[in-house]
Chains A and B, each alone.
Chain A
Amino acid sequence: EAGVTQFPSHSVIEKGQTVTLRCDPISGHDNLYWYRRVMGKEIKFLLHFVKESKQDESGMPNNRFLAERTGGTYSTLKVQPAELEDSGVYFCASSKLTGPPDEKLFFGSGTQLSVL
């Protein structure tokens, strides 16, 4: 079974540019999450999709970040325009819709974003 796939693995852009990160969850997983770790900080929740609907986007830092999951399959996270403080590792995770307590998140390897 394929795991959670994230693309690209690394992205280097200049401040003010746009970057789009992609996440392909495990097939059949209705839940999809985005997390990120910025330099020196802890891993933080960004948002949660159930199928194509945003269940919780309370962790999105500001309106420069836009996440989509059209069709309830893969998801994209766009940063426009990127700022220096957006540098970090962006993780995607997916899970089956089983709810607590047995929900296990499967994480991708992340996208390392560097904004120069």
Chain B
Amino acid sequence: GAVVSQHPSRVICKSGTSVKIECRSLDFQATTMFWYRQFPKQSLMLMATSNEGSKATYEQGVEKDKFLINHASLTLSTLTVTSAHPEDSSFYICSAKDGRWAYEQYFGPGTRLTVT
């Protein structure tokens, strides 16, 4: 149990285009999902917290108009990188918190975004 999927696993896009990344909890309902960014050989940096049915809470320094987050259901959250630039190239990882358990967060396999 507690499986989180992400799609796509890899994406290459041209500068100026938008890319949508999906995060799904496959066998549980996730009232809260999180989006992280990870640079090579570094730890995870929280970008935003997404609660089902409400607006996402963004971390300081993260542009909400550039990284659009939608959490329309208890099993799906999406991150859209708008007008992507090469500096947005990174490994994006989502996590989901199972509402039945107080503490555990489960991570997706990540999405490698390359902007050319």
A interacts with B = no
Which B residues fall within an 8 A CB radius of A? none
